[in-house]
Structure 1
Amino acid sequence: MSCCGPSRRTFLGAIASAAFLSIGGLASSRARAQPLSVLATDLEVVTVTDRSVVLTWTTVAPDESGRLTPVPSDAEVRLGPADSPRAPVPVFADPDRTPFHYAEIGGLEPGRRYRFEAWSQGVRATPALSVTTLSPGTPEATGEFTTMVPPPGRLLRTIALANDVHYGETVSGLVVGAFPPGFRQPAGLPPYPEVMLSALLDDLRARSVNHLVVAGDLTSEATQEEARAVRARLDSWGMLGSDYLVSRGNHDRPHVDYESCTHFGEHRDCWGDNFLARQELAEHEVGGLRLLGVDTSDLNGAGGRIERSQFDRLAEALRADPDRPTLVFGHHPVTVESGLTNTAGPSFVLDGADSIQLQRLYERAPGVFLHHSGHTHRNRRTRPDTNISVEFLEVAAVKEYPGGYSLLHVYEGGYMVNFYKTRTEDARRWSSTTRGEYFGLLPDYTLGTFADRNHVVARDFSGLS
């Protein structure tokens, strides 16, 4: 696991530097681009499973003013075993021309190293100028990847982990006020939270997912209209409490001055009227696997907290069956490492005292194996602060780049995690657009390392059905 990331001051400084560098960088890229008809860029090896790989890239070309703009192009992937003397051979060709390329290749062998190339109009795709994909040893830098070896035993079930839909939001990428510049959906296109949620649900149908877990920020402002609309979209996929499970995020907290909905003093809880009451522990069981949804939202802020009544119920549930395999999900990340490495600082994650108390509960409940959270809009695993064997996993947002979800494949002998981008044309367009958030620095913060996105953990789940 990686340990460190930018502090808030460093990040904001980098934004300022990027704003300056982007002027010269764009000018030089325009100059270089002039002789070329197409540039294939932003290459990412997003997902590697035991038998498949997903690559994405974008094709751009200079317009009459020299500005690089997306242009439709063909797409081809060449692939072959890395230990073969033969060059990679074509294994994928997209008949539909698009600027936003998504190539998924199956039929691979577990635990084998492959060499790959992605091409559009005779131009080989290259990574963006991003530390995440240009660092030594990354698949994008080496042109090679190794398929994963799944845990032993039968595949028992597949659970999608998602968060940060922000249904109702109209501007993406704002941090403070109107800074940095945000991104809006062009006129005539559906609102981007609707596009991205629909793309997520389409993907889950195609991938035969058993359950969907949404860890908070389903809405933008928790209005009655937003809560009802996102509930209706999710209900079109399955049933709340069995097919899909939710927890509340800070955007879903009760708001002041709404005219209807359940009262909390001056606050009104429209989200709770459509989903779950405030600070209520959600308990679910599927085939012997326990899923616990924790409401970590504070009534008046972006940071997280767990109130005493919910802590007591959580402690009671874990104490009653401490060895049962358990997945916990809640909106706010938990660990000190997460607090130090997210751009908003320690106050943005779960309250420090609550974090330690929660991890102490996990010490006495060895069945807890994974804690899924959102809020930071990034893919990242962080270290626990106590001596526990729990993975703390943050999953990138549904609503913006990289725009996706993680699949948790549970086997008898452990689990495999893989992050996927959503893949409808409108979703790929919006994800490509929002790469530009934070003056183009968003990929380095949110995509995560290859190991954050794709990894295998050994556990004994032989008692599950």
Structure 2
Amino acid sequence: MRCCFSAPLAAMSALPSPCEVLRSGALLAPTLLRAAAGALHGSTRKSHAHHPDALTAVHLELVTLTEDRAIITWYTGVPGTNDGLGHMLPAVTEGEVVYGTHPSRLDRSAAEDRPTAHHHVELTDLEPGQTYYYQARSRGTAATPTPLHLIRGNAVGTNRYGLGSSGGPYSFTTPQPPPGRHLLSIALCNDFHIGETTAGLMAGLPLLRGVAQEPGLAPYPEIMTRALVEEARRRGADLLLAAGDISAGGAPRDLAEAKRILDGFGSHGQDYFAVRGNHDRPRHRDAGDAFRAEFLGGTGPAYFARDLGGLRIIGLDTYEKDGNGADAGGLGDEQLSWFRARLKERGDQPTVVFGHHPLTVRDSLFPVSGGQRLGRRQARSILDAYASAPGVFLHHAGHTHRNKRTLLPQAPHVTLQEVSAAKDYPGGFSLLRIHSGGYALNHYKTSSAQAREWGERSRRVAGGLWPHHALGRSVADRNSMTAHDLSGVSPRGLPATASVGARPGPGTAAS
């Protein structure tokens, strides 16, 4: 039986190696003990004894960093309060970021247009290659960072300036823009888990409670997916690629609802493409295949290739087998042969590959089991194919529910980008901006009011360890720029080949 929370935590049901346990045990033990104590004492009361003007600003994060803008988020709470999950009750107030090019001259400011406890400030008109110093404030109180010390990370900047102080200023350096003219933008997303009701249920660790939505509110997977669709369009995405675990368990009603929400972005097979993950497989062999019915027109393979004005998109079905979802991902022999043949035929064509399971999982806070990735033998085979296909520049995966950028020596021209889950903290997508001479990858949190509230509530998954895993240990894990010759791609991905808009979408494999 599959649990409702996918890798990496559900994959713990697949036994990790002893060395993996030892490597992570020292980090996990204190949190596990705190969670166990909380479960045993049943600390569910809400405390209200506090000074009416008291305020604490926490969880400061530099989420998005491009050549000309930065997005900074934080939370304001009432000290001494507890919502029953060990989290401060919200303190609704104003928020601003003061910033400048010298730590003693923060002479520019950006403020929110309304009071909130879930702050989201965007700095614009920044200069490429410039170092900026900043401080986030609410009612005069400086916000302190999300601590990422367990993974030796930095949530608030591109260097360690200001981390020894309380409240900054912190600093970041804007990257250079991708070379050449902008051609098109693609939203990369995954792990909607439509139908899920509790985030963070962990197989084998019953004392770590999951986090459920507040009573009376809409289901959080639907809130987050709708917000993603709206935000992706607002940020200029021309296409959207959804890399699996569209549903929590492959139920027909959940996949139908997911399709309705995604149709808000455009037409499937033309404006957006979806592949399935292990959670989208039917639970029983004799059960109906709802993903195939909703997204594939009931026929054809669940993998495909499409030419969009010179840019090739290849979608993979990385769990093309029977199983409970906790084991390693796998492509069938026919799919793997098809995939390698496509790359061999046109190895120089600019190509984006996306599928649910990553090829490798590096630097994870949690023990890494085989269920978190594609099978080793197939992963090596794909990397070997990439080595002979210089046109492939990006492999987008989900499943691990984290932001992580990896480059491997077997195919250094291919960025392996894991994107965090859309359904909960940090909640959002990565925007791939393709230029004629390179590309940028930038992560965006969904910014609707309900999405911000759920994102803050769900950061308490895994006994509070979740930010150490999901956000990305560095700004570069969620924001990067890479030079690459993409001059063969048409602006906005047009004109597209006839197969792009043909129904049933990506049900028919085509090169």
Output the aligned Cα RMSD: 2.6
Gaps of 5+ in 1: 1-5, 257-264
Q: Look up the match of 1:282.
A: 304
Report the Cα offset of residue 316 of structure 1. Answer: 2.2
Q: Look up the match of 2:88.
A: 68
Q: In structure 1, which of residues 173, 186, 189 is the aligned counterpart of residue 214 of structure 2?
A: 186
Report the Cα offset of residue 158 of structure 1. Answer: 0.6
1:30-41 residue pairs with structure 2 within 5 A?
A: 37-41=54-58
Residue identity opposite 2:193 in structure 1: H
Contact residue 279 and residue 294 of structure 1 kept, 8 A:
no
Q: In structure 1, which of residues 151, 155, 176 is the aligned counterpart of residue 203 of structure 2?
A: 176
Report the Cα offset of residue 380 of structure 1. Answer: 0.6
Contact residue 434 and residue 440 of structure 2 kept, 8 A:
yes
Contact residue 312 and residue 349 of structure 2 kept, 8 A:
yes
Residue identity opposite 1:280 in structure 2: A
135 and 78 in structure 1: CA distance in 2 versus 1, 3 angstrom threshold: closer
Q: In structure 2, which of residues 339, 345, 364 is the aligned counterpart of residue 320 of structure 1?
A: 345
Q: Look up the match of 1:14.
A: 27
**Distance in 2 (alpha carbons) for counterparts of 1:209 and 1:41:** 31
Report the Cα offset of residue 185 of structure 1. Answer: 0.4
1:430 has 2:422 as partner: no
Residue identity opposite 1:193 in structure 2: P
Report the Cα offset of residue 214 of structure 1. Answer: 0.6
**Distance in 2 (alpha carbons) for counterparts of 1:290 and 1:135:** 35
Q: Look up the match of 2:191.
A: 164
Q: Deviations over 1:170-197 (max 9, x none)?
A: 0001121645200100111100000100
383 and 65 in structure 1: CA distance in 2 versus 1, 3 angstrom threshold: closer
200 and 125 in structure 1: CA distance in 2 versus 1, 3 angstrom threshold: same
Q: In structure 2, which of residues 237, 241, 259 is the aligned counterpart of residue 231 of structure 1?
A: 259
410 and 342 in structure 1: CA distance in 2 versus 1, 3 angstrom threshold: farther
User: Could you say what secondary structure the match of 1:97 adopts?
Assistant: coil
1:213 has 2:231 as partner: no
User: Could you say what secondary structure the match of 1:18 adopts?
Assistant: helix
TM-score, scaled to structure 1: 0.89
Structure that is richer in strand per residue: 1
Residue identity opposite 2:122 in structure 1: E
Residue identity opposite 1:62 in structure 2: P
Q: Look up the match of 2:74.
A: 57
Q: Look up the match of 2:498.
A: none
Contact residue 40 and residue 123 of structure 1 kept, 8 A:
yes
**Distance in 2 (alpha carbons) for counterparts of 1:424 and 1:124:** 24
337 and 104 in structure 1: CA distance in 2 versus 1, 3 angstrom threshold: same
Q: Look up the match of 2:154.
A: 133
**Distance in 2 (alpha carbons) for counterparts of 1:35 and 1:72:** 12
**Distance in 1 (alpha carbons) for counterparts of 2:161 and 2:381:** 39
Q: Deviations over 1:49-91 (max 9, x none)?
A: 0110000000011356797322111101111113xx8621342
Contact residue 356 and residue 385 of structure 1 kept, 8 A:
no
Contact residue 211 and residue 461 of structure 2 kept, 8 A:
yes
The percentage of aligned residue pairs carrying the same residue is 37
Report the Cα offset of residue 348 of structure 1. Answer: 2.3
User: Could you say what secondary structure the match of 1:436 adopts?
Assistant: helix
**Distance in 1 (alpha carbons) for counterparts of 2:439 and 2:67:** 12
Q: Look up the match of 2:10.
A: none
Residue identity opposite 1:133 in structure 2: N
Gaps of 5+ in 2: 1-18, 164-168, 491-511
Q: Deviations over 1:139-176 (max 9, x none)?
A: 77361111110122101111111000000100001121
Q: Deviations over 1:357-402 (max 9, x none)?
A: 1111112211111100000000012232624421111000100111
Q: Look up the match of 1:366.
A: 390
Contact residue 62 and residue 155 of structure 2 kept, 8 A:
no
**Distance in 2 (alpha carbons) for counterparts of 1:8 and 1:46:** 30
Q: Look up the match of 1:271.
A: 291
Q: Deviations over 1:282-319 (max 9, x none)?
A: 21222211010000014213320011111121122212
**Distance in 2 (alpha carbons) for counterparts of 1:382 and 1:367:** 18
Q: Look up the match of 1:296.
A: 318
**Distance in 2 (alpha carbons) for counterparts of 1:75 and 1:243:** 36
Q: Look up the match of 1:147.
A: 174
Residue identity opposite 1:329 in structure 2: F
1:255 has 2:283 as partner: yes
Contact residue 74 and residue 143 of structure 2 kept, 8 A:
yes
Count of paired positions: 443
Q: Look up the match of 1:329.
A: 354
